[in-house]
Amino acid sequence: MPANAEPYRTYFLGDACLCWELGGAISRLTSLRVLCVYRRLRKDPELARLGVHDLVPSYTALAAHAQPLCDWEAVRRVVNGCLASLPADEARLCERSARHVLPVAYNGEDLPRVAGHAGIAVEEVIRRHTAPEYLVAMIGFRPHFPYLLGLDRSLVMPRLDSPRTAVPAGAVGIGGEQTGVYPETSPGGWNILGMTSPELLYSIEPGDTVVFRRAEG
């Protein structure tokens, strides 16, 4: 990359959304950079004055939704200025956030298959799934569905060849290198490990952390 090149690219999605792409692949560092900008600017009065009504983070990008006839160059300057001020090291990108503990009944129908794919016992799958503190990289697919980073590499699991038509609300699953929780009954192709209470998802926001704990009894 040339010395004067920006470490991101921008592009429009239609005439009411401008995106900043900070990376091309899922990574903790890229997510932390996206989330840092999101959390600093989501209540920025200048962006609100310019007509921005929503900021939405994804794994690699931040989207600003605004009125189509807003001053997009002014919006760009605000976000670019925040990006320019980001610290370079991961430790300084981490900001104080809410920590959510989700009790899980590990009785999911795909738990034995995940164990077989990983070549470990079911109890070890549960231990490895409950060990990390996961970063909420984004909310998507359904309202309140948290996409979580930090899954143990040994538990990376292909999605189902044929998705289920109805995954129950509160199902905790693994899809590829991601883990997450279904907030409502919906179709889905992730591997189900167990169940938690979907109401616990309602207060989770991007940038928070999530810990799974094996439910007693």
pLDDT digits (tens, 9 = 90+) for 139-180: 998 899 999 999 999 999 999 999 999 999 999 999 999 999
DSSP letters of 147-192?
EEE---GGG-BPPPSS-EEEEPTTEEEEEBTEEEE-SSSEEE-SEE
What tens digit of pLDDT does each residue of 61-72 get? 999 999 999 999
- Range(s) for CATH 2.40.100.10 in the chain? 99-214
Instruction: Provide the phi-psi class of 4: left if phi over 0, else alpha when psi is between -120 and 50, else beta.
Output: alpha
In this structure, are residues 106 and 126 in contact, taking their beta carbons and an 8 Å threshold?
yes
Q: Which residue has the tokens 């699953």?
A: 173
- Rounded distance, CA 112 to CA 14, Å? 45
- Rounded distance, CA 188 to CA 166, Å? 7
Q: What share of the chain has pLDDT > 90, as a percent?
A: 85
Does the predicted model carry a pTM greater than 0.85? yes
In this structure, are residues 190 and 173 in contact, taking their beta carbons and an 8 Å threshold?
yes
Q: What share of the chain has pLDDT > 70, as a percent?
A: 95
Q: Write down the CATH number for the domain with range 9-93.
A: 3.30.1360.40
For helices 72-84 and 28-41, what crossing angle results, to 10°? 120
- Range(s) for CATH 3.30.1360.40 in the chain? 9-93
CA atoms within 13 A on the CB side of 173: 28
The pLDDT of residue 1 is above 60: no
What tens digit of pLDDT does each residue of 87-128 get? 877 767 777 789 999 999 999 999 999 999 999 999 999 999
**Domain 99-214, CATH class in plain words:** mainly beta
Cα of first residue to Cα of last residue in the chain, in angstroms, is 55
Region 197-207: what's the mean pLDDT? 96
